[in-house]
Structure 1
Amino acid sequence: MANVVVELVASEPVRVIRATYSVLAFDAEGRLDPDRFENQQFALVESAVAPVIASSANESHPPVVDATARFIAQGGQWIPSPALARAINEAALGQRQYARL
């Protein structure tokens, strides 16, 4: 899945502000597994917030890091090839034709 945030000027797309890419899991019947996706999204937030919380703690020893959230979050992300990322951005900006489902 690609989430693309596009800036609009006068209702026209002008630039891609941000793009994120996620892996969606499906069950044996072909239905989206929303629990797995939700767990990956929560883990992504946790892995982003954890360093901020750790740096604000006043401890004399280095903290022990639980990397569980980081691994769960990584399982839900992917990085497209430069050509595919360009095609996604062009489609989001209306510069490329694509099949609509």
Structure 2
Amino acid sequence: MFLLDQADRLYRLPGALFERMLLDPGGHPVRQFSGARIRMIDMLVQLENRQPIDVAWMSCHVLTFDASGCLDPGAFERHQRARADLGLAALSGTFDRSASVVDAATHFVARGGGWTPSPGMLQRLRDVALGKSACARLSLRRGPRTPPSR
């Protein structure tokens, strides 16, 4: 996983750290992201002889951080649920283009939780994922525990 800040600085986000941020946001604030919406990229990299050879899958999300730098897991879950609902509706054949306002709200929520990288950014992401370029690893500076804002 990778995070991309407002200045297009790229950070590697270990999956275990992201899991802890979701489960205990107050215990894992990222002060540099305080009050921001940060782009996240989740990638599945194909390996051959333990070497990365291709990006097999990529998904782009937006993470919301409160004023203390704590991840808002509720916003992330709402976006993920809306994206899943839209995908399942399309697969099941229940997707109706003349959707009601409620269905339009699902589209709006899903769209707010995702983004599409430019061709240049896509190449940069692929290069980092395949080990052709380096990026910083996100680290949390430990400080006092911050309760999540509600």
Report the TM-score when normalising by structure 2: 0.58
* Amino acid paired to 2:56: I
Listed one character per residue, the Cα deviations across residues 10-38 of structure 1 (whole Å, up to 9, x for unaligned) are 11111001111111001121100001000
State yes or no: 1:68 paired with 2:97.
Answer: no
Unpaired runs of 5+ residues, structure 1, are 56-61
**Aligned residue for 1:96?**
133
**Structure number with bigger Rg:** 1
Listed one character per residue, the Cα deviations across residues 29-59 of structure 1 (whole Å, up to 9, x for unaligned) are 110000100010010000111132416xxxx
**Aligned residue for 1:81?**
118
User: How far apart in 1 are the matches of 2:69 and 2:135?
Assistant: 24
85, 91, 103: which one aligns with 1:46: 85
User: How far apart in 2 are the matches of 1:19 and 1:32?
Assistant: 21
User: What is the aligned-residue RMSD (CA, Å)?
Assistant: 1.7
**Aligned residue for 2:62?**
23
**Aligned residue for 1:58?**
none
Q: Secondary structure at the match of 1:23?
A: strand
After TM superposition, what 4+ stretches of structure 1 lie above 3 angstroms from structure 2?
none
Q: Secondary structure at the match of 1:74?
A: helix
Cα distance, 1:89–1:63 mapped onto 2, change above 3 Å: closer
More deviation, 8-17/45-54: 45-54
Which structure dedicates a bigger proportion of its chain to strand? Answer: 2
Q: What is the count of residue pairs matched by the alignment?
A: 95
Judge conservation of contact 1:54–1:63 (CA < 8 Å) in 2: no
Cα distance, 1:28–1:93 mapped onto 2, change above 3 Å: same
